[in-house]
Amino acid sequence: MIFDRVKSLDAILAAAGTKALPRTLGAFHLTMLGVGAVIGTGIFVLTAEAAQKAGPGMMISFVIAAAVCAVAALCYAELAAMVPVSGSAYTYTYAVLGEPLAWMVGWALVLEYAVAAGAVSVGWSGYVVGLLSHVLGIGLPASLTLGPSAGGLVNLPAALIALAVTGLLVIGTTESARVNAVLVCVKIAALTAFIALALPVMQAENFEPFAPLGMGGISAAAASIFFAYVGFDAVSTAAEETRNPQRNMPIGLIGSLAICTLFYMAVAAGVIGAVGATPLMTPDGAAIAPGSAALTAACEGVANNAVVCSKEALAWTLREIGWPQIGNLVGLAAGIALPSVILMMMFGQTRIFFVMSRDGLLPEVFSSVHPRFKTPHVITMVTGVFVALFAAFFPVGALADISNSGTLFAFALVSVAVMVLRRTDPARPRPFRTPAVYVIAPVAILGCAYLFFSLSAYTLMLFAGWATLGLVIYFGYSRSRSHLGRGVLEVPEAEPEAPPVPVPPI
């Protein structure tokens, strides 16, 4: 029953009305695409979280997360090239492993997209609240800028930005590729300025002890930092448009991840070396959980505060080392650029649910299109409400970890699907073939499992609860209404208008 109802790849491609795309991208284009997609929110908002979990050892965490991304992306690229249609990992799993597992992947992708949008909203809130305080002298009360777990009541700015983005998506506001490219440049310029100012004032003693919480802390930080690399699959989805993909795809994937990793390590080194990154501990020597009320209380007793207490770590660091105006500009850059990321994450979520609804696994109303705006307004509004609730009541680190759990689960199953499809359909044309697939795919599965089980017990329990709820919905509702199970033939239909952003850079 778990592996039944496999959807034909030919049916998927026919239903999508797939057309051949011109092959115009080389290795350089792919590398730059990956750099633009990856560098962004994660490094802005998770640096303090990683420092609290691993101290200076978070530099190793970036390398571990990048290595897992690299092998997972090589597996993802093969299926993305074969099945260049909407639905990403959900569609691939449907075509190889069957409907029940496809449902679970689609259900897990809610965590990747919707919860991640909440995480970005919280990150945006931290930078904007800090900017208001330092530039305009407007201090918002903690009760309205922190969730309950961090000692507040509700993160109102985070909820409001999520609802504002929802409104834009409902009316069909389009973000052009040119605007998105400008925003990527803004983020990269801000990080470059940070590195240029922070590295010269590094002090060697700030790197000791390098791993105050041992390998366990480094692994936990790597599991969180994985969020900073999500978006790397943008390179994978371009396989169909790549010249000589067998050569250029690995170069683009590994090259972009290598550049981003060096960038991230330089930022981490700047934070650690300039102001230190020592985790705050309980009296018995245990690390205090990031985003908790206990950490908020501990931070109030730390002289001159600490980077692990900051909601805007990079801007805070620059202010501490004597560059307050540049720090404010970094905060402004985050405030300008991050809403576009929220928009793209929510767009990705609505598109997954839209495809699942067309397959009959969700109510038909979720794939209804607004008569005026031509957007999937119902599922967009439902998604927006949930994203706003996530942002209002959960800390950024918890949201990032929950998002990572869904992403890691989905990519592990994609890695399984690549090996299965090599056996069941070896003759199908593959524009890109994962090199040494029976080595790379198992390594990707093990890497995803390693990071997955390095997440907190709280996160794993939430994932288990979410998965259980998904199974109840599938067997209680979706299985009996599935178009594939009922033998309903699919007819190609136009997709609703939406921002032309295939993968969100975070």
Mean pLDDT (whole number) for 80-90: 71
Residue 17 confidence (pLDDT) = 52
Average per-residue pLDDT for the chain: 83
Least confident of 65-69, 169-173, 236-240: 236-240
Mean pLDDT (whole number) for 430-456: 93
Q: Cite the beta strand spans of 81-209 per DSSP E.
A: none
Q: CA gyration radius for the chain?
A: 22
Residue 492 confidence (pLDDT) = 45
What lies within 8 Å, CB to CB, of 276 at 6+ separation is 206, 306, 307
Give domain status of residue 35, yes or no: yes
Per-residue pLDDT of 153-192, as tens digits, reads 999 999 999 999 898 888 875 544 566 667 778 888 888 9
Residue 430 confidence (pLDDT) = 85
Residue 501 confidence (pLDDT) = 42
Least confident of 76-90, 104-118, 265-279, 486-500: 486-500
Per-residue pLDDT of 355-411, as tens digits, reads 888 888 988 888 778 888 777 888 889 989 999 999 999 888 888 899 899 989 988
Whole domain around residue 351: which residue ranges? Answer: 25-279+286-486
Q: Which residue has the tokens 């994203």?
A: 387
242 - beta bridge partners?
25
The rounded distance, in Å, linking the Cα atoms of 332 and 128 is 7
Percentage of the chain lying above the pLDDT 90 cut: 31
Give domain status of residue 80, yes or no: yes
Give me 331's structure tokens. 């905060």
The rounded distance, in Å, linking the Cα atoms of 10 and 16 is 10
The rounded distance, in Å, linking the Cα atoms of 283 and 150 is 20
Quick check: 229 pLDDT over 60?
yes
CB 60 within 8 A of CB 265: no
The rounded distance, in Å, linking the Cα atoms of 379 and 238 is 27
Give domain status of residue 495, yes or no: no
Q: Which residue has the tokens 């908790």?
A: 292
Quick check: 253 pLDDT over 90?
no
| Secondary structure letter of residue 489 according to DSSP | P
Give domain status of residue 506, yes or no: no
- For residue 57, what is the domain's CATH number? 1.20.1740.10
Return the amino acid letter for 200: P
Give me 115's structure tokens. 């919860």
CB 307 within 8 A of CB 58: no
Give domain status of residue 500, yes or no: no
Sign of CA dihedral 348, 89, 112, 213: negative
Give domain status of residue 379, yes or no: yes
Q: Over the range 75-97, which residues count as b (16 or more CB within 10 Å of their CB) and which as e?
A: bbbbbbbbbbbebbbbbbbbbbb
Quick check: 500 pLDDT over 60?
no
Quick check: 303 pLDDT over 70?
no
CB 223 within 8 A of CB 452: yes
What lies within 8 Å, CB to CB, of 225 at 6+ separation is 42, 46, 50, 58, 61, 62, 65, 264
Give domain status of residue 15, yes or no: no
CB 56 within 8 A of CB 216: no
Give domain status of residue 496, yes or no: no
Total of domains in the chain: 1
Residue 301 confidence (pLDDT) = 67
| Secondary structure letter of residue 238 according to DSSP | T
> Which of the four pLDDT bands, split at 50, 70 and 90, describes residue 4?
low
Residue 251 confidence (pLDDT) = 85
Mean pLDDT (whole number) for 221-233: 84
Quick check: 490 pLDDT over 80?
no
281 - beta bridge partners?
287
Residue 502 confidence (pLDDT) = 43
| Burial group, residue 36, by CB count within 10 angstroms (0-12, 13-18, 19+) | buried
Quick check: 491 pLDDT over 80?
no
CB 57 within 8 A of CB 210: yes
The pTM assigned to this predicted structure is: 0.83
> Which of the four pLDDT bands, split at 50, 70 and 90, describes residue 59?
very high
